[in-house]
Chain A
């Protein structure tokens, strides 16, 4: 256990003190204060669940720079053309009924001694517990030829859903028949292990209907397909035969932006549309204060509370963390991290024991075309000796083949998880 009884009491008395100070009733109220940075799958879920599970006794402020939520899961369907951006966009207003104070701004600095967060807009917010769910930033230094705005406007990542998703769709639509769509996949770990392979399917889905002389070249820095290999390969050798060329061990060493050429160690590949997914590390706010303490890229956390192992009272969720074995960087996982964290923070602020045995599941659907979907699933339980989340032996598995029934479930998954975090 990482918390002694004394620490519980300290946390408890801090909140009592805050309640005492709450005489000057404000909009936010006088309860203990939690500030959440980032309104994605992790942060929005944490904000809602802390309000829900504390019966509104904990004040929650959610800092988010975007005006509405746009989902990365399902965003490949926008590139394939079967959905539009509006279909994967959810407003933040649904959180208001939970009494969450929403601030549209960006956190730029944390003062852990004073327990405050500074926002770009100039505001400084106090916290008893701080939650960081910033997602990932790209390590542009590792792709020097793309480390400028002009190059990034031409060679898209579309690995954060939003304007880039639509822009990549436009590039694909503008590509002449006979063109080559080249995608580069970085070395693992990266956000959403099956995502690039799903995207290849979605592009091929579009090409096989509209541009039959075109193809996709997948340049994978990894030695093999990172997720759902059998299911993806079956699609590439089956319905998309001739449309997808998969090249493992193809790390990008440079890009000639003018000619859209991907340079590899011993080869170069000319593209008509070039989609480079760059290597990634934790979002900037979580790389401060020594928190990115796993290979200087991701953040180690206590899996009972999601508290940073480097900074007390700062909790980190989602793609920014150094994940446990076989735990993907996924929106579904971020939502699950958030609930364990919310349970722990509500307990800590009430002076109670945190759940000593967190348990959660991952479910990940990939769209092979516009309707047929395949999944991978796993259940993860806390291992007290190893102090990490371990896949429960015998649990989990894959679809035997993509089906339209799982397509219906995948759509329902999206509706329910978006409501679970935002409504």
Chain B
């Protein structure tokens, strides 16, 4: 829900500032998945390339990542910490981060 609200807000801000272009908003949304994936990097490695026991998530199938995150959020997949973290993300944010991570090289 949050993501759907913010795009009109960005348009409104740009309009208010006098020279709105669609390109500006497109640029913002293009980096949305990247910026959310930067949340994951602390534990899962830069762009999801993990070096340790925490699973690597770079280059995973997008649909798989979406499903895992939703399963954590809904309590269907057991975890130590991911259930608690996944509850902080909307469906749209999960889609955006999964799309970005799926495009990253595993190594």
Interfacial residues, chain A to chain B (CB-CB below 8 A): 1, 4-6, 49, 52-53, 332, 335-336, 339-340, 343, 347, 352-361, 363, 375, 377-381, 384, 392, 394-397, 399, 403, 405-406, 408-409, 411-413, 415-417, 419-420
Closest A-chain residue to B56, C-beta based? A416
Decide: A409 and B50 in contact? CB cutoff 8 A.
no
Contacts of A336 in B (CB 8 A): 38-39, 42
Decide: A420 and B2 in contact? CB cutoff 8 A.
no
Contacts of A405 in B (CB 8 A): 80
Cα separation A412 to B50 with both chains bound (whole Å): 8
Closest A-chain residue to B37, C-beta based? A339
Decide: B14 and A377 in contact? CB cutoff 8 A.
no
Decide: B81 and A416 in contact? CB cutoff 8 A.
no
Cα separation A352 to B22 with both chains bound (whole Å): 11
Closest A-chain residue to B83, C-beta based? A397
Closest A-chain residue to B44, C-beta based? A416
The majority secondary structure among interface residues of chain B is helix
Decide: B42 and A332 in contact? CB cutoff 8 A.
yes
Decide: B85 and A379 in contact? CB cutoff 8 A.
yes
Cα separation A112 to B32 with both chains bound (whole Å): 32
User: Which one of A332, A335, A357, A405 has the highest number of Cβ atoms from chain B below 10 Å of its Cβ?
Assistant: A357
User: Which one of B34, B38, B39 has the highest number of Cβ atoms from chain A below 10 Å of its Cβ?
Assistant: B38
Decide: B9 and A384 in contact? CB cutoff 8 A.
yes
**Known A361-B42, A377-B85, A420-B46; 17 more pairs at CB < 8 Å:** A339-B38, A347-B28, A347-B31, A353-B10, A354-B28, A359-B89, A360-B38, A361-B88, A379-B87, A381-B2, A392-B88, A395-B84, A409-B53, A409-B81, A411-B53, A416-B44, A420-B41
Closest B-chain residue to A394, C-beta based? B87
Cα separation A420 to B42 with both chains bound (whole Å): 6
Interface residues of B in 55-78 (CB under 8 A from A): none
Cross-interface CB contact of B88 among A357, A381, A408, cutoff 8 Å: A381
Decide: A409 and B45 in contact? CB cutoff 8 A.
no
CB distance from A263 to the nearest CB of B (A): 41
CB distance from B42 to the nearest CB of A (A): 5
Cα separation A381 to B92 with both chains bound (whole Å): 14
Cross-interface CB contact of A347 among B18, B27, B38, B45, cutoff 8 Å: B27
Decide: B87 and A395 in contact? CB cutoff 8 A.
yes
Cα separation A411 to B43 with both chains bound (whole Å): 10
Cross-interface CB contact of B50 among A347, A353, A380, A416, cutoff 8 Å: A416
Contacts of A403 in B (CB 8 A): 80
Decide: A356 and B13 in contact? CB cutoff 8 A.
yes
